[in-house]
Amino acid sequence: MLVEVQSWPYSFPASEDFQSSDQRGNVNGRLLVRDKYVSDDYIPGNSAYVGLAPPGEVGSWQRECKDYQFWSRADEEGYFSINNIHTGNYNLYAWNVKEGKSLLSWAVKRFKGRSVCLLHVHQPTNLVSLLDCKLSSSKFKRYAIKAFQELELQKMHKLLNEYLLFLSQMGVHTDNSWIEMSNIGKGIVQLIVQHGIKWLIMGAGAETQSTKQRKLSEIKSNKAILVCKQAPVSCNIWFICKGCLVYARNVDFVSCLATTTLALPSPINNGETILVHDCAENTEDDAGSVQSFKHSTRSMEEVVGTSYSTIPMIGWIRGDDSPLFSQASSPEHFLCSSSIPLLDYKLQEEETHDLHNNLEHAVVDAENFKQRAFEESVKRWRAEEDAIEATRKAEELESLCMEEINRKNEMEEILVGQRLDIEAMKNQLDQFVKELQLIQHQKPALESQLREACCIEKELEEKIIQAVNLLITYKEKRDKLQMEYDSATREANKFRTFTKEDPMGICSTQFFGFSFADIIEATQNFDPSQKIGEGRYGIVYKGMLNHVKVAIKMLPFSGHQSDSEFMHEVEVLSRVRHPNLVMLIGACPESRSLIYEYIENGSLEDQLLCRTKSRPLPWQYRIKIATEICSALIFLHANSSCIIHRNLKSSNVLLDSNFVSKVGDLGISNFVSNHTLYSKNDPAILISTEIFNDGELTAASDVYSFGIVLLQLLTAKPASDLVRDVKCSIESGYLNEVLDVSAGDWPPDLVKQLAHLALRCCERKPSERLNLVSEVWAVLEAMRDSWTMSSPTSSSSSLDSKDQRRIPAHFVCPIFQEIMKDPHIAADGFTYEGDAIRGWFNSGHKTSPMTNLKLEHTELLPNNALYNAIQEWQQQS
């Protein structure tokens, strides 16, 4: 039974009541429930309890322990231990269990001899909702709930043991039974049904607010109403308040009172059972479960105490279902609680002494229980603290976890960035690999170029060496020329003397006669190295006369001409001058030598038969040469004396350095006898028939010979049978087969036209041959103009039009003998190709390549004016 002590508001900490508070503001100490706060019924140390409710809540003694912020048992002096209560205002409720024990005492005394059983309905605390907000870990929550439930059960058993001890002290040994159920009323009904209880005594503290109210017309407690309604009709239920029967179910209340009064003095037979049960107001209808049940039929000496938080109830079972109370008892007797103790006054006095002793033992036991309860509380608080600490750690872990997640996200972002960087580097690498592959692909070509450059470098080095050697040779030649010059001067002086004595006036022809000594000197005493070739009329040497390069033909001495005749003939021929005739510049009557200008590139025959080092003549050049020969013949034939060449053939057509053709051996037949004039293999053998036919060679003979040269220009074949072969090829339609393909791509029309022109020049009858002026020249000139001079294709040839022009001498390097690309002026005032003069200096020379004098210095100055002139000249060409 709960007894409300002086309750609210009790504000604490009251300084005089507490011993200490910790740093967190939690109060630890002892609270004294002063007299002014407690009711008259409150007895310190007598199983009293106190509860603290949060401020603002209107408390009630009907509240359960779990409803309080804190609850504790008071010690003997009325102090309550307070542990870890936060400083603040609380409502205080205090009660003791005196009323529960008085109920037990009342029941034992009234129903002496009956077997009694103490019943208890344990109402479990809804811990899940309590701990839900405090503990995040479900595992820890389970441990906490389990520990709390065990603590509650321990407390319950302590309470039951306290009641059993109390009954034991009263000399009653009884049994107890408890059930766990959230709805206490239902638990009571279940126990009644299960154990067939016939008499149930319940406390009725909740029904009476005044101790003066001794009788109730109806009960108000929900729990009591539920029990009255649902308990079996066979079960009689009495509600006791402060030692008075205030309500009864099933039987007329007045008769009950009477019955009770009558029955009380009577001893209760063994075998009857009294059940005592704890109950509390609870409106919930939750189903519960029976945890355990013990029932035994025992004597009234076995009595058990009841719970601290509930109204104790006593069940009484009788085998014969007879009313417990005697009919003789008056109702008034029950209305006053003090009337019953008076009836048993003697009995009470006898038992008081024993009870007192037992009470002292019980107090000691209670003190032990209290100590253990305190220790349990301490354990629970520590567990709670551990739980709070665990919660704090869990929160810290959650925080760390969040930080870790953030760090992980940051790392992922960095990784993404790094991945992009790697991607970019990979692309760059691919680019590099491609470039490398390209370079590797180009490497062979570059290496080849390098090799070529090395070869060119070597060639240039060799060229420089050759040039230097050449220069040395030139120097020697210059010295030699100097000597020749001196000799020529002497000869000139002699010639002057001669002209003064010359009655024929030969000197007016600017003719030079040379002595045999001159010829010997020029030919280096007919050194074989000076020999150019040999024809039917003698050996031809090259040599230098009066610093002029000449070709000296040594005629056989036939004896049919005197020196004067010889010289006259020479004089006549030397006057015949034409750009396409080899100039006769002198003679030596002593040695019967004819001196001609020296023609650099040999004969046309040598060119056609590729006897020279130069490339084959392009067909454009061949047209030009044909035109030039034609021009020379027209010149000869047009002369008033109509000079007949008599010996025109490709070996007598010479080519100068610009591939300008010059017809040589003019009038050679005048110096030799007829029997040496022709040979069997001579292409002009046909002409001999003319000679033998009429005994005279005419211009038509030269036309025939010209036709043969034209055919050789087309075919590059020997003269013999050439006319017949070309005719056959034209007739058979295979003219191309006899063409000289080394001349390039002959234009077909030009070939046909030229072949027909040549054949018509070679007609057997001289009269049928073409006229050079009217029939040949116009055709050849048109060909030359359209195909060689104006044709752009001519430039594709290695012998282009530039070669036809005379190169200004000062454009040519004295050392390399080539047109200068990088002209430089040396200290001697001469201009040289840069590489050539540097090579000269590098080979250790400190002298001028031209004068052989020592140079003041070896510095070079670029000749820009000459460079520009060369460039301009090359562009024009």
Ligand X SMILES: Nc1ncnc2c1ncn2[C@@H]1O[C@H](COP(=O)(O)OP(=O)(O)OP(=O)(O)O)[C@@H](O)[C@H]1O
Contact range with ligand X by CB under 6 A, out of 64-72, 172-180, 315-323, 528-536: 528-536
Answer yes or no whether residue 537 interacts with ligand X by CB under 6 A: yes
Answer yes or no whether residue 714 interacts with ligand X by CB under 6 A: no
Shortest reach from residue 598's CB to ligand X, in Å: 5
Binding positions for ligand X, 665-684, rule CB under 6 A:
665
* CB 630, CB 706: distance < 8 Å: yes
Spell out the residues 6+ positions from residue 54 whose beta carbon is closer than 8 angstroms to its own: 69, 90, 91
Task: State which of residues 471, 540, 630, 820 lies at the interface with ligand X (CB under 6 A).
Answer: 540
Shortest reach from residue 586's CB to ligand X, in Å: 12
Tell me whether residue 325 or residue 541 sits nearer to ligand X (CB atom).
541
Binding positions for ligand X, 139-178, rule CB under 6 A:
none
Task: State which of residues 598, 706, 746, 830 lies at the interface with ligand X (CB under 6 A).
Answer: 598
Nearest CA-CA partner of 772 in 670, 684, 648, 617: 648
Shortest reach from residue 577's CB to ligand X, in Å: 14
CA distances for 699 relative to 637, 663, 687, 759, angstroms: 6, 15, 11, 16
Tell me whether residue 88 or residue 556 sits nearer to ligand X (CB atom).
556
* CB 661, CB 710: distance < 8 Å: no
Nearest CA-CA partner of 237 in 171, 317, 174, 176: 317
Answer yes or no whether residue 813 interacts with ligand X by CB under 6 A: no
Tell me whether residue 188 or residue 608 sits nearer to ligand X (CB atom).
608
Shortest reach from residue 705's CB to ligand X, in Å: 12
Answer yes or no whether residue 553 interacts with ligand X by CB under 6 A: yes
Q: Write the secondary structure of 749-809 as one string of H (helix), E (strand) and C (coil).
A: HHHHHHHHHHHHHCCCCHHHCCCHHHHHHHHHHHHHHHHHHCCHHHHHCCCCHHHHCCCCH
* CB 37, CB 94: distance < 8 Å: yes
Shortest reach from residue 562's CB to ligand X, in Å: 23
The single-letter DSSP state of residue 818 is S
Shortest reach from residue 465's CB to ligand X, in Å: 29
Positions at the binding site: 553
Token look-up 């060639």 returns 459
Contact range with ligand X by CB under 6 A, out of 18-26, 122-130, 464-472, 532-540: 532-540
- The neighbour count for residue 295, using CB atoms within 10 Å, is 20
Nearest CA-CA partner of 131 in 116, 114, 144, 146: 144
Spell out the residues 6+ positions from residue 362 whose beta carbon is closer than 8 angstroms to its own: 162, 165, 166, 169
The tokens describing 773, both together, are 């002026």
Helix (H) or strand (E) holding 549: strand 548-554
Answer yes or no whether residue 567 interacts with ligand X by CB under 6 A: no
Shortest reach from residue 721's CB to ligand X, in Å: 19
Shortest reach from residue 647's CB to ligand X, in Å: 6
Tell me whether residue 230 or residue 601 sits nearer to ligand X (CB atom).
601
Shortest reach from residue 708's CB to ligand X, in Å: 13
Contact range with ligand X by CB under 6 A, out of 139-147, 568-576, 613-621, 650-658: 650-658
Shortest reach from residue 639's CB to ligand X, in Å: 21
Site string for ligand X, 603-632 (x = CB under 6 A): x-----------------------------
Contact range with ligand X by CB under 6 A, out of 108-116, 368-376, 479-487, 527-535: 527-535
Answer yes or no whether residue 243 interacts with ligand X by CB under 6 A: no
Residue 167 CB-half CA count within 13 A: 33
Helices (H), 198-252: 222-230
Task: State which of residues 319, 417, 535, 862 lies at the interface with ligand X (CB under 6 A).
Answer: 535
Backbone angles phi, psi at 74, to 5 degrees: -85, 145
Answer yes or no whether residue 719 interacts with ligand X by CB under 6 A: no
- Measured distance CA(157)–CA(307) in Å, rounded: 9
The tokens describing 394, both together, are 């869990």
Shortest reach from residue 557's CB to ligand X, in Å: 16
Task: State which of residues 208, 307, 310, 652 lies at the interface with ligand X (CB under 6 A).
Answer: 652
Binding positions for ligand X, 576-595, rule CB under 6 A:
582
Tell me whether residue 106 or residue 537 sits nearer to ligand X (CB atom).
537
With CB atoms as reference, the residue minimizing the distance to ligand X is: 535
Tell me whether residue 3 or residue 668 sits nearer to ligand X (CB atom).
668
Tell me whether residue 602 or residue 718 sits nearer to ligand X (CB atom).
602
- Measured distance CA(836)–CA(776) in Å, rounded: 49
Tell me whether residue 515 or residue 530 sits nearer to ligand X (CB atom).
530
Answer yes or no whether residue 664 interacts with ligand X by CB under 6 A: yes
* CB 47, CB 308: distance < 8 Å: yes
Q: Where are the beta strands (DSSP E) in 74-212?
A: 79-86, 88-96, 115-122, 175-180, 199-203
- Measured distance CA(276)–CA(203) in Å, rounded: 10
Tell me whether residue 47 or residue 580 sits nearer to ligand X (CB atom).
580
Shortest reach from residue 730's CB to ligand X, in Å: 29
Give the bridge partners for 27, in sequence order.
21, 85
Helices (H), 502-562: 516-522
| Long-range CB pairs of 528-533, under 8 A, 24+ apart, other chains included | none
Positions at the binding site for ATP: 553
Shortest reach from residue 792's CB to ligand X, in Å: 33
Contact range with ligand X by CB under 6 A, out of 411-419, 454-462, 481-489, 648-656: 648-656
Answer yes or no whether residue 646 interacts with ligand X by CB under 6 A: no
- Measured distance CA(67)–CA(242) in Å, rounded: 25
Contact range with ligand X by CB under 6 A, out of 142-150, 453-461, 500-508, 646-654: 646-654
Task: State which of residues 258, 551, 587, 699 lies at the interface with ligand X (CB under 6 A).
Answer: 551
3-state secondary structure at position 519 = helix
Counted residue by residue, the chain has a size of 877
Shortest reach from residue 530's CB to ligand X, in Å: 11
Nearest CA-CA partner of 735 in 762, 753, 760, 709: 753
Spell out the residues 6+ positions from residue 201 whose beta carbon is closer than 8 angstroms to its own: 103, 107, 237, 238, 240, 274, 276, 313, 314, 315, 316
Task: State which of residues 533, 556, 718, 834 lies at the interface with ligand X (CB under 6 A).
Answer: 533
Tell me whether residue 452 or residue 534 sits nearer to ligand X (CB atom).
534
3-state secondary structure at position 198 = coil
Answer yes or no whether residue 709 interacts with ligand X by CB under 6 A: no
Nearest CA-CA partner of 842 in 860, 825, 830, 828: 860
| Total binding residues toward ligand X, as defined by CB under 6 A | 21
Tell me whether residue 85 or residue 654 sits nearer to ligand X (CB atom).
654
Contact range with ligand X by CB under 6 A, out of 101-109, 533-541, 790-798, 859-867: 533-541
Give the bridge partners for 11, in sequence order.
89
Helix (H) or strand (E) holding 70: strand 70-73
Answer yes or no whether residue 654 interacts with ligand X by CB under 6 A: yes
The C-alpha angle 826, 827, 833, rounded to 5 degrees, equals 10
Tell me whether residue 275 or residue 654 sits nearer to ligand X (CB atom).
654
Residues that bind ligand X (CB under 6 A): 532-537, 540, 551, 553, 582, 596, 598-599, 602-603, 647, 651-652, 654, 664-665
